[in-house]
Structure 1
């Protein structure tokens, strides 16, 4: 496999170029290295290479990495910041809260209740992205765009949840430019929520863009991009 540092250099050059094209500051774009398809050793290499934010989709797949890198007496003081980026079942929230700093897939009140319950027990506040199904694909998770403002209002009942932005997944397109309308729609939806929601002052982030389309997402305002294969590669455990 290609060395992590080579991947990082290639991706950094592309992020810089996308920021220059769109008049954005590089420091406003954050990278999540999606490690769900790689081994603990590869995840460690990514972290040691400077990728501080790691993303996983399922706790059962992430557990050995989290325990080795964050838990136990042997864990280093300098630890990754973990992002839960997959669909989260309400009954699995207790496994994730307290271990993953960010949740990118809040999309229903039953999940909000489960997150709040676990977070309250640990006396922590959980930064969450609201997942919105902008593309309308049946295979995609997330609330519908027209449901966003009522959903945000309902979250006031769960003070352990801190909504910080919106997340979406664009359809896979052979031509990344075709994803632009999805990313633009999420940015516009964030602007509407900032004006009309009581959480407006906190909603500043857009989690959008993956290996195939992250440059377009950055041009449309992404503050977090979720990069797996292009950054850390793909391998079997």
Structure 2
């Protein structure tokens, strides 16, 4: 199937899932463009994609000046503190805030530039050793530590689903994420909203939406299997 057809099919699936669960369709698609050529990214923008997510700083920097009209840029990969200076003022949302030294560096850069940096806290809800993210039981302590970061705004949570074929396990983890988001919301922290719940990828986005996700990150489902780019 073409990129156009893939996008239309995903949008249809999202519409049907929202209808099935009795919720309005407020789901945003972030097209994951790791190892995707600029030409293919531009094609996706023609067919209703407004948000793209990159995993690697170097790859993002190679593309950012060549994609017009400018989409909303999301950084969704693990972000090293020494790479913050290259992207903090170029992306619309950093989805992988997962430790205090990263928050400190973002705050320092944003303060000097007098800008606001928007972020999502990445939660390792599955507690898998191969995944980054804060543990569920540590998130409130982490948010308390962010209260002095006046230029860093938390707009919600992000997670990666469990690496398993067990759909009940995946669903359980996504449900925990929704409940965690609601608990954080009830605390009314400064500069912390829970407007975004970013969970669900190509293989599990419909389950994620059923459990409350309003942002899905889809790469293979849009662009097909990809090979690593050279350079």
Shared fold per TM-score greater than 0.5: yes
Instruction: Note the C-alpha offset of 1:183.
Output: 0.4
Instruction: Note the C-alpha offset of 1:199.
Output: 4.0
Aligned-pair RMSD on alpha carbons? Answer: 1.5
Equivalent in the alignment of 2:131: 140
Structure 1 runs (4+) deviating above 4 angstroms are none
Equivalent in the alignment of 2:35: 37
Cα-to-partner distance string for 1:7-41 (whole Å, 9 max, x where unaligned): 01110111011111211111x11110001131111
1:229 paired with 2:220, answer yes
Instruction: Note the C-alpha offset of 1:203.
Output: 1.8
Distance 1:182 1:200, change over 3 A: farther
Rounded to whole Å, the distance in 2 between the matches of 1:20 and 1:182 is: 22
Segment of structure 1 superposing worse, 144-153 or 191-200 = 191-200
* Secondary structure of the corresponding residue to residue 221 of structure 1: coil
The alignment of Structure 1 onto Structure 2 pairs a total of residues equal to: 228
> Whose RCO is larger (CA < 8 A, sep 6+)?
1
* Secondary structure of the corresponding residue to residue 193 of structure 2: coil
Cα-to-partner distance string for 1:64-104 (whole Å, 9 max, x where unaligned): 211212xxxxxx4x311100000100111111111111000
1:129 paired with 2:129, answer no
> TM-score normalized by structure 2?
0.94
Equivalent in the alignment of 2:156: 165
Cα-to-partner distance string for 1:38-76 (whole Å, 9 max, x where unaligned): 11111111112220100000111122211212xxxxxx4
Cα-to-partner distance string for 1:158-179 (whole Å, 9 max, x where unaligned): 1111001011111233354441
Conserved? CA contact 1:172–1:212, under 8 Å: no
Conserved? CA contact 2:158–2:199, under 8 Å: yes
Rounded to whole Å, the distance in 2 between the matches of 1:139 and 1:66 is: 29
> TM-score normalized by structure 1?
0.91
Q: Please list every run of 5 or more consecutive structure 2 residues that lacks an aligned counterpart in the other structure.
A: none
